Amino acid sequence: NAGVTQTPKFRVLKTGQSMTLLCAQDMNHEYMYWYRQDPGMGLRLIHYSVGEGTTAKGEVPDGYNVSRLKKQNFLLGLESAAPSQTSVYFCASSPLRIETGELFFGEGSRLTVL
């Protein structure tokens, strides 16, 4: 039982390049999230999904797109990377409503945009 797995764990991009971060969970959770973590800024919600085929914007959605084609996967895309997107990205999942339990986080993906 791997929990929440993120790939890749490290990536360096040049400005303007595109990439996709993959999050996979094997706990049959309905809700999935993408957060970014920057020094002094905490964890900021980018996008989230409350079920297969659904997505919604969080606090900082600009410059990112997401897709949830399969219940176990949640993809985060950067179409044209910018240095401001240099960050550590965390994927998380939860069974249902947040207050029924906890968020299970992945190990994080460190992205550097030059």
Interacting residue with another protein among 1, 2, 28, 100 (CB under 8 A): 100
Q: Write each residue from 49 to 88 as x if it is in contact with another protein (CB under 8 A), else as -, in one continuous string.
A: -x-----x-xx-----------------------------
Who's near 41: CB < 8 A, 6+ residues apart? none
Residues 10-29 vs another protein: string with x where CB under 8 A? --------------------
Candidates 44, 61, 71, 73; binder of another protein (CB under 8 A) is 44
For residues 8 and 106, the answer to whether their CB atoms sit within 8 Å is: no
Residue of 83, 41, 81, 74 whose CA lies nearest to 59: 41
**Distance of closest approach, residue 17 Cβ to another protein, in angstroms:** 26
The answer to whether 33 contacts another protein (rule: CB under 8 A) is yes
Whole-Å CA distances, 41 to 3, 35, 37, 60, 109: 26, 11, 7, 12, 17
